[in-house]
Chains A and B, each alone.
Chain A
Amino acid sequence: MRRILLESLLRRPVTDAAPKLDDAELAALAARIDVAARRRLGRSLAIREVDAGSCNGCELEINALQNAVYDLERFGLRFVASPRHADVLMVTGPVTKNMRIALERTYEATPAPKWVVAVGDCAVSGGLFAGSYACVGPASAVVPVSLAIPGCPPTPTAMLKGLLTLLRS
């Protein structure tokens, strides 16, 4: 333990620099960001992740946001265990019919002001699962979506850029 701690002290941090945000990219990502709500929430956001039927690829990359390389918390962004503590819902998956009610209830349980971020091609458009008897389709068919981050799955850097648009005043 001591050796690992000592090594960590002597080495340079593994954390990447913050991604550069480019305006055109941000404009494309943000479909509807409520500026007034952003002022009220300040520079810190609590995120609740809702898997609405993904293949778990998006979850792997969302989890990667919390590793030491991306270190999401340095931006004031953090994952919380309950929608009641959340400002943002990150929704993944093609919203299966079996998850529809759970997603609706999670949204209702989240206090306003709140935003929904659709993460990954499935949540953005239904992806490869569009048209299935078992899927509702994109997240926007069930809850209002403010930001769409496409990709299969989106890289952690792409997600980080998207989430930072929510904080940018």
Chain B
Amino acid sequence: MTPLAALIDTDRAADPESRWPRVMVDADTWLDIAAQLGAGGWTLVGLWADGQRVHMAVADDAPRPAVAVVSLDAEDGAYPSVGRYHPAAIRLERALRDLCGLRPEGMPDPRPWLDHGAWGVNAPLAGSRGEPAPSVPEGYTFLRVDGEDLHEIPVGPVHAGVIEPGHFRFTVDGETVVRLEQRLGYTHKGLESLLAGSTLDHAARLAGRASGDSTVAWALAFAHAAEAACGVAPPPRAVWLRALMAELERMANHFGDVGGVCNDASFGILNAHCGVLRERVLRAAASCFGHRLMMDRVVPGGVAVDLEDSGIITLRGLLKEIHRRLPQIAELYDQTTSLQDRTVSTGILRPALAQRFGAGGHVGRASGRDFDTRRDLPYPPYEQLRFTVPVQTEGDVNARVWVRIREIDQCVGMIEQMLALLPDSPIRVPVDAAAGALREGMAMVESFRGDVLVWLRLDASGTVARCHLRDPSWFQWPLLEAAIEGNIVADFPICNKSFNCSYSGHDL
């Protein structure tokens, strides 16, 4: 197999110094790459368009993890489909067609994805440059399932719990799920269209609301991309405070999810205890940084608020409590047989499939995909921190719970180190959005859910010309369809919670 570096002649890259080289390719090379993705050689990490140009971000694991972007100019509004060779690209291409109006030629699924026919515009990101796209037909055709005694259960978009909206179409044989087909796009807010034309500061606020549960990770990835585009580096203290906030966010979410999975197995006591610990983390965040979810605290050029000495004491107290309580929670989870009965061997995601779709976060790492942006595509300050990346291979609900519990433990260790090593410096430097030669930036950051990707292009005046956000959920949602197959309908909530994909981050 060709290494990524050999295929991409970095001398032709837009900026050879960049961590993420981007090169123009012709249609033949594009197809070669699609075939390599289909053969499992590389991992697709993003696919988006800017005007008439299609960009594809690809990761290669060997000899060491690297990511590059290839770009192809669409001719007459069409480009060769990647989804034809690599199923993980199919939903991305359907969304790209809905938003940008570019047709993936040879793509096996002609149905729209985010566009439900209600926007009143076609291809909203194409502007006047794109060809008018065909309008979306009424209704939506779900894939046909044939067989005796099968019936369908439609669920959503409004669900029974306090969760986001989406539609699930189950085909079942008795109690057993034969197929799940998702229909998403209900929370599409036109985020990328709002980003275009925004100032950097406003765009950072928007990016921080791609998915509220990962607001720190999104704002961080956006800040990295903006700083790359403008050629500035954030001050050291800001770098450490950003990581501190990111780990608090990860911990809070993992507590919520561990409790949520147990709650879906009707084991309320663990949900109660995890819920209290989550609340402790959020209150500590509010007292240290002034916002429970730490929204708008990471900004281009640094952070918006400094950590006072009293905050350090608060955080040390929090860590002490978690250090004491986490083993109790893990023990109770592990020793409750009725709970284990629900989580062990339920909703198995096969490692080969997780690898093929490049599943990030706990979904990938519970199915043997040993990848974490913080370690494998590191950004400061993680190369100065000691931590391990928990990996399991069983791929069931239980493995996803354990990866989370072990990650919380890692977060505690990292925050302890950060509090000890926190350097002194200003917390923010000005970012001159109109300066910098490159005008383009990309970043990948590890959210609690997996790797988020931001790609940004600025115009000459320093406003955002195009910004693309790719949530880890894009590569996890399709795997949930596979993981639930053969399970009983009643186990769907627990499987779904163990994945905890974002609707908003996906729909944008």
Residues of A whose CB lies within 8 Å of any CB of B are: 1, 3-5, 14, 49-64, 66-69, 79, 81-83, 93-94, 96-100, 102, 106, 128-129, 131-135, 152-153, 155
Bound: A57/B160 CA distance, A: 18
Task: Determine if B272 and A57 form an interchain contact, defined as CB atoms under 8 angstroms apart.
Answer: no
Task: Kindly state the separation between the CA atoms of A66 and B210 in the bound complex, as whole angstroms.
Answer: 25
Which of B276-284, B382-390, B397-405 is found at the contact surface with chain A?
Answer: B276-284
Specify which chain B residues have a CB less than 8 angstroms from the CB of A57 in the assembled complex: 209, 212-213, 215, 293, 295
Q: Which residues 100-154 in B have Cβ within 8 Å of A in the complex?
A: 116, 118-121, 124
Residues of B close to A1: CB separation below 8 A:
269, 332, 335-336
A133 touches B212 (CB 8 A): no
Partner of B206, one of A59, A128, A155: A128
A selection of 5 A-B contacts at a CB cut-off of 8 Å is A54-B187, A54-B504, A68-B276, A96-B188, A134-B124
Give min CB distance, A88 to chain B, whole Å: 13
The verdict on A4 contacting B212 (CB below 8 Å), with A53-B189, A57-B295, A96-B188 known, is no
Chain A residue contacts of B272, Cβ below 8 A: 67-68
295-331 of chain B: CB within 8 A of chain A: 295, 328
Contact B160 A81 (CB under 8 A): yes
* Chain A residues with CB under 8 A of B275: 64, 66-69
CB closest residue in chain B, given A57: B212
A-B contact count (CB 8 A): 145
Given A1-B332, A60-B213, A128-B194, check contact A99 B187 (CB 8 Å): yes
Do the beta carbons of A60 and B186 come within 8 Å of each other? no
Nearest CB in chain B: distance from A50 CB, A: 6
The distance in angstroms between the C-alpha atoms of A20 and B459, with both chains bound, is: 50
**Chain B residue contacts of A134, Cβ below 8 A:** 119, 124, 188-190, 193
Q: Are B164 and A4 in contact (CB-based, < 8 A)?
A: no
Contacts A99-B187, A155-B292 hold; do A64 and B279 have CB atoms under 8 A apart? yes
> Interface residue count for B (Cβ, 8 Å)?
50
Cβ-neighbour of A60 out of B124, B190, B293 (below 8 A): B293
Task: State the 7 A-B residue pairs at the shortest beta-carbon distance, nearest first.
Answer: A57-B212, A67-B275, A134-B190, A81-B160, A132-B190, A97-B118, A55-B212
Q: Is the CB of B161 within 8 A of A102?
A: no
Known: A94-B189, A99-B186. A14 touches B276 (CB 8 A): yes
Question: Chain A: which residue is nearest B205 at the CB level?
Answer: A128
Contact call A56/B164, Cβ cutoff below 8 A: yes
CB-CB under 8 A from A53, the residues of chain B are 165, 186-189, 504
In chain B, what residue has the closest Cβ to A90? B162
B189, A132: Cβ atoms closer than 8 Å: yes
Q: Is the CB of B211 within 8 A of A55?
A: yes
Contact flag A59-B164 (CB < 8 Å), given A106-B158, A129-B189, A134-B124: yes
A155→B293 CA distance, assembly (Å): 10
What is the CA–CA distance of A69 and B292 in the complex, to the nearest angstrom? 15
- In the bound complex, residues from chain B placing their C-beta under 8 Å from that of A66 are 162, 275
Please tell me if B406 contacts chain A, counting CB pairs below 8 Å.
no
In the bound complex, what is the Cα–Cα distance between A59 and B504 (angstroms)?
A: 11
